[in-house]
A and B are shown apart, each in its own frame.
Chain A
Amino acid sequence: MPEDAAATVGLSQIDELTERFEREAAGVSGRAAWDDLRVRWIGRKQGIVRAALDGIQSVEPAQRRAYGEGVNRLKEQVERRLAEMDEAISAREQEAVRRSAAVDVTLPGRHPSLGAIHPVSRVIREMVEVFTELGYSVAEGPEAETDFHNFEALNFPKDHPARDSQDTFFLENGLLLRTQTSPVQIRTMLSRKPPIRIICPGRVYRNDNDLRHSPMFHQVEGLAVAEGITVGHLKGTLLAFLRRLFAPDAEIRLRPSFFPFTEPSAEVDINCQICKGKGCATCSGTGWMELLGCGMVDPRVLDTCGIDPDRYSGFAFGMGVDRVAMNRYNIPNIRTLFDNDERLLRQVRG
């Protein structure tokens, strides 16, 4: 074989190999086939490229340089091509993984099953919180009470018509179910010296049962007794409280009234939060809603509790919780509040 021919044979072999590689590569799509292809062509020991490189021994010395360059070109091409294929295969593999792990993000989440706190408890908490921030403590007392604590000490004498306004449940043992949380005020004043600032939430009972009245309902009462407590302080405290509870721009008005345990006494109205005082169905067109009763602690009550009314003064107020809860959660009547229908209770959120 002439020198030229030998060189030509060597070089044409490389062209053939290049074509063959491209043919084989075209048929490869998966990772395994790619791996086979890679080992067959650039495997360290038995790869075709290595064999071609080793074949340089049989090439004429004059042709070796050209042959060597040809094999290197082949090697570069094979390696480049394999790298490209690797990248493409990896991309396809990742895509497949991603696709198999993909979720419908709009499917429902798995909730830990949450319960709910009763609307009345929520409102009580809210009211108590405002007053604890103002430095009040929470005072509590018995629901089955004595006549003394529920009436007499609160300046409701025996056989007095003022008692008529509070239909009382009596117990067979001569006690009664408290008609207000005020007995807690009495118990506190009997056991402590001023200054006193307490808030008394709790259940109360009145013998009244219709669509608008429940025989059991909830009250929050407040009491502050110290030297120098004024009617202005009563107004200021109620204003601060009601603005926190309802709206920062809420307005109140005090109408003189009568309760045996306060003097002077007042009914407190808040400007209707539905129509902001313009007059609507909720406030019967008056622009005001009656909200609570309050007053300066009657000196007879202070005397009964051993607190000198010449030195100390105080204010007290009391409001129903249930109606506030009903308004807040749009509950149409008070009985619904105590039906305990889970479908309603579970809707109640903070």
Chain B
Amino acid sequence: MLFSKSWLSDYVELPADVQDIQRRLTAVGLAVEGLEERGGDTILDVDVTTNRTDCMNHLGIARELAVIYGSPLKRPEAQPEESTERVEDAAAVDVEDWEGCPRFVARVVKGVRIGPSPDWLRARLEAIGLRPINNVVDVTNFILWEMGQPLHAYDLAKLGGSRLLVRRAREGETLVTLDGAERKLNPELLVIADADRAVGLAGVMGGADSEVTDATVDILIEGAHFNRQHVRVTARGLGMHTDASHRFERGADPELCLEAVSRAAALIAEIAGGAVLAGAIDRRKEDFPPILQGRLDLGRLDAFAGASVPKEDAHRWLSGLGFQVKNGGPAWDVTVPSWRLYDFQPRPDGTAYEQDLFEEVLRHFGFDNIPAALPALSGSDAPKTPRQILREKVRDHLAACGHAETVHFAFQAEGMDKSFPSLRPEAKPLRLANALSDRYDVMRRSLVPNLVETARFNQRRGLPAVRIFEIATVFYETPESEVPDQPEHVGLVCGGHAGNPWNRETDLDFFDLKGVVESVADAVGVRLDFRPASLPGLLEGSAAELFRSDQRIGYLGRVAQEEAYPLYVAEVALDGLEGGDVSLQVEAPSRFPAIDADLTFTHSQDTPWAEIDRTIAELRPPDLVFWEMTVRYLGQGVPEGAVNTTIHFLYNSSERSLTQEEVNERQLALAAELQRRFGWKG
């Protein structure tokens, strides 16, 4: 928002050093983001925060400057010379919607000569980037930027019945606004109407029909206070934003209406001639605005700040900012000025929060003057949750397994969301109401579609192998709960040719990814079962569901659609990895030598390893401490439909040295039983 230094100087004496002004305004919360020298003037670009409507005009900024520099604020004269004709005889105002318009002030000036504004007025407006229009409109704009009250001047002759009514628009009613656009209205919107039709959008923009033109002779000046929600609804509903709506939406000063209208009338009479009728129409909602008071306890202020604030300074700053301060004791009764009401939303009991008052004092005291300290809170708040520990463990583990962590947007195209399995297929995806585009219209239910897309992106960039993962939230529509279920998942993708003949060369496949998943589960003490499954997007016969006990917690498989090299994906719910049994007990290894044995036998490819494994566990001869599958062989010498499996066995007793003979005996019996149950029978 632009402000002219020369204009500000009308109300407060300022130092020549504009950098000092910039620094000090910024220090009280009015960030001066730019300074520009223009024709002997300096234009300040101030970032006025939404709560400081009172500073969206020159007087408001001047008020802060007067406090900063300790000089008096000179408020402009607002009393016009009045003619004998009474305003009530020339016009009338009725308010139908007090909620939307708690105050409406109007004055009438008769016999004006519309023409260009004098140079001083044009210069003021042009300095802050406004375009002069004519002397009457320029005065209303000038007042807005001088003291903050949005005004509107009507051509009185064009107001049907010479009267105004503040009411809701009628269904189907239309209005051509000053910008020439025809607006379709509805009863949500508040309008100013004459006896016949709407003539303005309350707090947003006037109508073209009653606009002041070169032919205008008598004018009515409106200075009203509109409810900020109503103005916002009207402006947003019609897609409009004006200087007036900007202020009303943020909360204007309800006590300014009369002063602003009177000053406008005086100025218009001065530069455009005419007679200001006696009196003003001032319609006001009962008990409006409320008076807001609070107590400021200086001891509590110091305790809140963690600094000692000089009492005299606090008093001077508050008074200078327009607060009425009573009682000189340790606690003051403070009345909030009308221009700060909206920034001081009261406590439930109707009084002002002391923190709002503290803020006013501390802004001017300066945050730089508060010494830094650490709070003396002993101990710690709470330990890390099991979930937080698990998540970081999994993240570290996957990185140590060679996977690179990725981060994707949580929204994706609905088609993509459907392309891979969901762990809760019955739950619908959450849909965005205002998605960036249809590429991002639903919240993902699985991490895999993004990971596969990223794997392809990396494939296309020529990476011989891809190994990535992500840990993030997925979303399920859950109509019965306050917020939808948003469990955390871990997703993985791998594929391609890793390493080289010198360094651990391997073609990544199903079992590489399965190994990573199993090692994660192992690290967190969870046992997983892999059961063959038929899943969307995954190659039939190369996909499995992951079970922990009988709970399905994930899946793993080969992506059906292939490009360059096969990709393998896995997804596991982090919930499913929680609460594992990480044993703290270890078993002492035997002091006696172990004896090992290998068995190779031919069996049908349809016999799952898990069944053989389970059978060994069931038949487990004494002292068999360990076994593992070491070779799978298909090829010469192995019949069609069969496979050779080699299993390595280890026998060890904790009490004595076993003899080769007794191990042979047990191993032969085990081998014979495995052969009997699974052996290839051709």
Interface residues of A (CB under 8 A from B): 108, 110-118, 120-121, 125, 132, 134-138, 140, 142-146, 158-162, 165, 169-173, 175, 177, 195-198, 203, 205, 207, 209, 215-216, 224, 226, 228-233, 235-237, 239-240, 253-258, 263-264, 266-267, 296, 298-300, 303, 309-310, 313, 337-343, 345-346
Contact = CB atoms under 8 A, between A and B. Distances in A.
19 contacts: A114-B400, A117-B395, A136-B381, A142-B483, A142-B486, A160-B232, A169-B433, A170-B432, A170-B433, A195-B377, A205-B410, A228-B375, A232-B305, A236-B372, A237-B374, A309-B353, A342-B466, A345-B404, A345-B406
Q: Which 6 A-B pairs have the closest CB atoms?
A: A232-B306, A230-B306, A256-B29, A258-B49, A113-B402, A137-B382
Contacts, number: 263
B499 interface: yes
Contacts of B368: 253-254
Interface in B400-457: 400-411, 430-436, 440, 443, 454, 457
Interface string B325-358: 0000000000000000000010110000111101
Contacts of A170: 432-434
A207 B437 CA distance: 11
Contacts of A142: 483-484, 486
Contacts of A346: 404
B362 A264 contact: yes
Contacts of B363: 256, 264
Given A239-B372, A342-B466, 20 more contacts: A108-B502, A115-B469, A135-B378, A137-B382, A146-B483, A158-B229, A159-B229, A165-B50, A169-B411, A175-B484, A177-B410, A231-B370, A232-B373, A235-B373, A253-B368, A254-B368, A255-B27, A258-B52, A263-B359, A296-B304
A115 B403 CA distance: 4
A136 B502 CA distance: 48
A112 B403 CA distance: 12
B434 A299 contact: no
Interface stretch (B109-117, B282-290, B472-480): B472-480
Given A146-B482, A215-B409, A216-B409, A197 B362 contact: no
A76 to B, nearest CB: 49
A223 B436 CA distance: 32
Interface core residue of A171, A340, A346 (most chain B CB under 10 Å): A340
A134 B385 CA distance: 17
B372 A232 contact: yes
B373 A230 contact: yes
Nearest to A195: B377
A144 B287 CA distance: 42
B601 interface: no
Interface string B374-390: 11011111111100100
Interface of B: 26-29, 31, 49-52, 229, 232-233, 249-250, 303-307, 345, 347-348, 353-356, 358-359, 362-363, 367-368, 370-375, 377-385, 388, 392, 395-396, 398-411, 430-436, 440, 443, 454, 457-458, 461, 463, 466-469, 472-473, 475, 477, 479, 482-484, 486, 498-499, 502-504
Nearest to B388: A138
Nearest to A136: B381
A261 to B, nearest CB: 12
B232 A161 contact: yes
B457 A114 contact: no
- Looking at A136, A263, A267, A337, the one whose CB has the most chain B CB atoms below 10 A away is A263
A299 B300 CA distance: 14
Contacts of A177: 410, 432, 443
B236 to A, nearest CB: 8
Contacts of B229: 158-159
A340 B407 CA distance: 7
A110 B468 contact: no
A230 B502 contact: no
A337 B363 CA distance: 38
Nearest to A174: B433
Nearest to A339: B457
B407 A226 contact: no
Given A113-B498, A115-B401, A235-B370, A228 B430 contact: no
B399 A115 contact: yes
Contacts of B409: 215-216, 338
B402 A309 contact: no
Contact of B381 (A196, A266, A313, A339): A196
A112 B434 CA distance: 46
Contacts of B31: 255, 257, 267
Contacts of B401: 115
Given A146-B483, A231-B307, A115 B353 contact: no
Contacts of A264: 358-359, 362-363, 367
B314 to A, nearest CB: 14
B49 to A, nearest CB: 3
Given A161-B249, A171-B432, A138 B384 contact: yes
A125 B384 CA distance: 13
B399 A117 contact: yes
Contacts of B388: 138, 140
Given A110-B504, A255-B26, A341 B461 contact: yes
A20 B229 CA distance: 124
Contacts of A108: 502-503
B135 to A, nearest CB: 32
A117 B397 CA distance: 10
A231 B431 contact: no
B353 A110 contact: no
A231 B305 contact: yes
Given A256-B363, A258-B50, A144 B372 contact: no
Contacts of B26: 255
A235 B406 CA distance: 35
